[in-house]
Amino acid sequence: MADSSGPEIRSTTVLCVRHGGQVALGADGQVSMGNTIMKGSARKLRTLARGQILGGFAGSAADGLTLFELLEGKLEKVGGNFTRACVELAKDWRLERRYRQLEALMIVCDAERSLLLSGTGDVIEADDGVLAIGSGGNFALAAARALLRHTDMTAQQVVEEALRVAGEICVFTNLEHTVLTLDAGGQS
């Protein structure tokens, strides 16, 4: 994804865990350019649809924010149908020339579903309720799955701890986290 004309930007770890009637979405705050930490407190999560949907992105900040705006527009266009809006966004992202260069991945969730969206048209819902993206995504994913199998932690606690583990392993992930939650009723 990186343009060879400039330094590669690596931004973040985003983790979503659905467990015990709650969904938690968390991200670290680090933005790196090459081997340099440019910022430690970036906010890569947003609430959408008046707090009924949570979203997080890994990749270019401008592209991630553009994707949030596009998803909001799709939600309005389809009457708030979360899954349909995500599918429509993924289709446009893949097919429309002006969106093809958006360099980000996103995880979005509502009270019922968690979805990973990509510019290649992917709309993925994990079988186990755990999704992760970004530089430290695989570390966070592995930690979250282990914690869910061997502890009685809440979804929020699992996200917090798994992000901490990822931050201790991945040099492009830090220990400054933001975590947002929704319960089964859609309340954040």
State the pLDDT at residue 80.
Answer: 95
Reported confidence tier of residue 159, pLDDT bands at 50, 70, 90: very high
Is it the case that residue 1 has pLDDT exceeding 70? no
Q: What pLDDT digit, counting tens, does each position of 96-111 carry?
A: 888 888 889 999 999 9
Q: 33: closest CA among 75, 64, 2, 67? A: 2
The verdict on residue 109 lying in a domain is yes
What residue has token string 């938690």? 24
Is it the case that residue 188 has pLDDT exceeding 80? no
The verdict on residue 69 lying in a domain is yes
Reported confidence tier of residue 6, pLDDT bands at 50, 70, 90: very low
The verdict on residue 133 lying in a domain is yes
Q: For residue 86, give its domain range.
A: 9-171
- The residue from 12, 13, 173, 181 that is catalytic is 12
Q: What number is the average pLDDT over the span 38-53?
A: 94
Distance CA 20, CA 147 (A): 13
The verdict on residue 110 lying in a domain is yes
Distance CA 167, CA 188 (A): 25
CATH code where residue 105 lies: 3.60.20.10
If one counts the domains in the chain, the total is: 1
Q: What number is the average pLDDT over the span 37-59?
A: 94
Distance CA 10, CA 174 (A): 12
pTM confidence score: 0.91
Catalytic site includes residue 12: yes
State the pLDDT at residue 4.
Answer: 44
The verdict on residue 180 lying in a domain is no
Reported confidence tier of residue 60, pLDDT bands at 50, 70, 90: confident
Is it the case that residue 3 has pLDDT exceeding 50? no
Tokens found for residue 73: 């527009």
